[in-house]
Structure 1
């Protein structure tokens, strides 16, 4: 919790934005829980900034709200500048899965593409139940290591220097087989 009078941090702004998105749709916490499969108490704690969402939970919320994760995180930031220095690129960590996400080129209203950098620890994996926006185009360029990406039931092993591109319409799964972490650039283009 932040001190009274202190500026709201990203977790506080994210919590407020999640509450606003639910309210805009007129959904109760029970309805949002039904749509996401996330417990009502967890959703309540997220909206009160008592809990930081995991990658999986944030992915489920993005899916029901029809947003990419980067777009949602952008909505809690101030108006983005044209030049985003490395020091100002928002970084989000999911300590439980070992996933780190850097918004290299955050989304911007009126633009359809964004670039993120992802790192996933050796042995770690992430699963997304649905595409955040059906038909979203993704290009994944591996900068270091290897990642296995499952899209539409097909497992693609993507090595350093390789690029995988696809349109995402359903679930996806990322796994870093090791022996070291994987670092990749992901370009997302909205339909």
Structure 2
């Protein structure tokens, strides 16, 4: 397990204890099994994007906020070596936090890639109406946002306020490589 995954595991345990929730309570609120939550907190397994989304939804925070909390400190200049990279072991989804969230800033910038044919489903937004700007760099992406379907190719930009479930499916031959800007409607 990499350093970021270990810090995420520690932060998940800390958040549950601060909320004064048992594993059973968090399992009920998140829809992630008690056994899986226990293994995540111990660092025995790496979380998937879907697991993190469900857990963060229980805490009413974006996954990126959890990632920020797992980071050491906020700095104005972030070199490529300092940009946290997270890989979803279930489907190969790779997420680089180019400009991570910060209490002083309203936005963040992510570089994301999905291997050919990869599929991501987020059952519910962690916080309704987060502003998203998705710029398709390479490959192709079929996206469902709030029950609207879009097909993106290189150079396309999709702007939306996420209020319901979302789904991402990478092109079966080329995969998908895109940049995502997320802007909170309220400052953190």
TM-score by length of 1: 0.93
Residue 143 of structure 1: CA displacement? 0.4
1:103 aligns with 2:70: no
1:170 alignment partner, one of 164, 169, 178: 164
Deviations 1:51-92 (A, max 9, x none): 110111011111111222222111111112111111211000
- Tell me the equivalent position of 1:45: 39
Distance in 1 (alpha carbons) for counterparts of 2:18 and 2:74: 24
Structure 2 residue runs of 5 or longer lacking an equivalent are none
1:4 is aligned to none
Residue 187 of structure 1 corresponds to 181
Name the residue aligned to 1:70.
Answer: 64
Distance 2:90 2:150 in 1: 24
Residue in 1 that maps onto 2:3:
9
1:136 equivalent in alignment to 2:135:
no
CA shift for structure 1 position 151: 0.8
1:44 deviates by 0.6
User: 1:88 — aligned with what?
Assistant: 82
**What are the superposed Cα offsets for residues 1-47 of structure 1, whole Å, 9 maximum, x if unpaired?**
7xxxxxx9322221111011112222111111111111101001111
C-alpha distance in 2 between matches for 1:134 and 1:22: 22
Q: In the alignment, does 2:29 pair up with 1:29?
A: no
For these two proteins, the number of residue pairs brought into alignment is 185
Mapping for residues 141-160 of structure 1, pairs under 5 Å: 141-160=135-154
Farther-moved stretch of structure 1 (20-29 vs 115-124): 20-29
In structure 2, what is the equivalent of residue 121 of structure 1?
115
The TM-score with structure 2 as length reference comes to: 0.94
